[in-house]
Structure 1
C-alpha cells in the first residue's frame, strides 16, 4: 500500500489479489478484457489500484463467479446497462445519469454538477466498453 502524490492510497496487484481473493492472473485478465483500468506508475509501469478499482473488481468478480457471466457477456452488459444498475449505486437518486438512463452515464457526467459514478469515467468499465456493439435487450413481440 502506498500513497500517490494526490494523497490517494493505492495498492499493488499482490495486495489487491489477497484482498479480493482472486489470483493476480485473473485480475490481469479482467484488465485485458476491458473490465478494469488501473493507474500505472510512470517510473516502473506497475499497476496501482485505488479503493474504487478494488470495489469494481469485487463487483465484477460477483457478476462473473456468483451470477455466471462470462467476460464477453459482461462486456455486452456493461455497454448496454446504466452504471447504477451494474454497480448497485447507493447515490443513484441524486446522480444526473439516473434521471435519463438512455444517455450513457459518461456522457451525462461531462455536463453534470453531481455524478455519483464509482470514479472518473475514463477508468469505469462502462466507459472502457463504450465501443461494444449493443442492441436492445428486449424486443417487442
Structure 2
C-alpha cells in the first residue's frame, strides 16, 4: 500500500499550477475558448519553464468563472467585459503620479484592461502584470463591485 501524504499542501491562490487541459475540464469549456480569452486580454496565462505550457492559478480560474457567468447568464459580449475591466482605476490602485497617468494608455482610453497595454515610460513599465494588484486582486465580479462601492 502506498504511503499516505500526511502533510498539508499550501499553495497561494495566485500561484500558476494548473495546466490548460485541467482548467478546461474544471470549467467545462474548451481549450480553444481559454486561448481565446487570453488572446482577448481577459486573462494572463503564465508560461511553464519551456514557455509553451500555459499554467493558471486559482485566481485565474475564479476570473474565468466570472467571465463565463457574464457571457452565458448575463449575455455580456467579450468587448463589454473588456470595457468593464478597463474601468478598474488601476492608476489609483498602483498610486500613479499625474505624469504617469498622462503617459499611460490604460488611463487615457477605454475598452481594454490595463494589463493588455505596453507600458513605456510610466510606473508600470517594469511590473509583471500577473503579479500586479490590479490583475491579482480583481479576480471575480464581487471584488470589482466592492471596490467601486468604496470609491
TM-score (norm 1): 0.55
The answer to whether residue 19 in structure 2 is matched with residue 19 in structure 1 is: no
- The 8 Å contact of residues 10 and 48 in structure 1, kept in 2 or not, is answered as yes
CA distance in 1 between counterparts of 2:47 and 2:134 reads 14
- Residue number among 56, 81, 84 corresponding to 1:74 in the alignment: 81
1:9 Cα deviation after fit: 5.8
The answer to whether residue 133 in structure 2 is matched with residue 121 in structure 1 is: yes
Larger radius of gyration: 2
Give the number of aligned pairs. Answer: 92
1:13 Cα deviation after fit: 0.4
In structure 2, the partner of 1:45 is 52
1:72 Cα deviation after fit: 1.1
TM-score (norm 2): 0.52
In structure 1, the partner of 2:38 is 31
**Structure 1 runs not aligned, ≥5 long:** 83-103, 112-118, 127-141
The answer to whether residue 94 in structure 2 is matched with residue 110 in structure 1 is: yes
| 2:44 aligned counterpart, secondary structure | coil
- The 8 Å contact of residues 94 and 134 in structure 2, kept in 1 or not, is answered as no
How big is the alpha-carbon RMSD for the aligned residues of Structure 1 and Structure 2? Answer: 2.9
| 2:36 aligned counterpart, secondary structure | helix
Q: Pick closer, same or farther for the CA change 1:54–1:32 going to 2, 3 Å.
A: same
